[in-house]
Structure 1
Amino acid sequence: MTTVRRESLSDQAARLLLARIQTGEWAIGQKLPGETTLGPQLGVGRSTMREAIRQLAGQGILMSRQGSGIFLQALAPQQDWEALVLRTNIASILEARLAIESEAAALAAERHTAADLGVIRAALDRRNVERATIPSRVDADTALHRSIVAAGGNPILTELFDTFAERSHDAMIQMLRLSGEPGTDHDQQVHERIVDAVADRDGEVASALSRAHLLALRDAVVVGDGAGGAPAE
């Protein structure tokens, strides 16, 4: 039996924002107002507005640039990319991350500054705290992984990570749900070892640990074993 689907606030906000985009309120490449401005305009809170923006980013309409803001990159959903994401299973997502993050970890070990390391360790601490809900865990985990990628000093890898993270956010939540819990001490310790290798400027170990971690997650997903508290990003 077909039932009426209740539209969430974030879905409504995304739909309203898309309508404004398609009226030409902003040009391609133009920066949009922030969450604190758009939220009140649409009658929703900041967290709801953030989720609405994330939805449109996942459709290829908006692009989030770390430290710069939200920019318009298309007037309609990018159907080819959206279909690809829908077809892509979690194991494939992890394999794509391998190509980015194993190399980025080695570069971070070689090139990081004291400031970079401070950002990485702060993100690691936040990741340890954010265990209450799966979405918050995903966000904290993504922030840690991004801090390592950014410390590598390669803007192409960072841009690839940002683009992929936007589009794979929901799949990462799905992966974490397979583990049955938002995180474990063992999972956190794995990330601590990666960070320690980066801090020690041991690129070979940092890369190997990152690769082994992602391969283990991929293999756990393939065999349907969610044990071990797989992280979201």
Structure 2
Amino acid sequence: MRHDIQQNERAFSTKEVAEEVGIATTTVRRYGQILERNGYEFFKDGDRRIFVKSDVESIRAIKETSLTQDEAAQEVVAKQKEMLSGYNERAIATAGTYNQNLSDPKQTQELLQLLATELAASREMNVQLKQDMDDLKTTVSRLQQDHHVISSGVGNFSQKTHTKMDKMIEEQKTQYETLLQQEREKSEALQQELRQIREDQQKEWEAQNAFNQQLEVTVKNSKSPLERLLDLFRK
């Protein structure tokens, strides 16, 4: 476990490390994974890494090395282990001295210094956590706004689509009814024309029949030339 944090030492977020080193936040996470894979220790808040100045320099070393990333990570890890061994020995000595003689002012001061350092680190992590929560709230708020805009857009588009479809259906219905009415009018006109033709044919047939009957009567009543000659002799 790391005990190398200094009193009032600043904690960096992933975004701040990226800006400090001049790389993307995704690259910071990838370099952190490479370092951890080779044994590097980060301060952690759950699964989230808390970066201090020494961690920023370790990330920078991975970026600027001419070695492979794993080789550079191994060198950084070796330096960290060497540095942490001094802090670990100091922590052990302080704890042992505290148990043996709590009244020693020097040991008590060192213990209080260690507790103050840990408290400062906790405060920094709390500040960073609050900042991350604020960023998360902002992101969630933006996502909610985007969702509202998208939902409104989809709703408006759906409403407009339904309105257009209803209008098209109404226009088609009106057009169909107009065509149907036109066909009915044409059918009625045709039926009227047929009735008129039949009536004209009936009148023509009746007139022809009357003429034929009159002709027949006329023929029956007319006398032949021989009959007219005989009538003269009879006189």
Give the TM-score band, short-chain normalised. Answer: under 0.3
Greater Cα radius of gyration, structure 1 or 2: 2
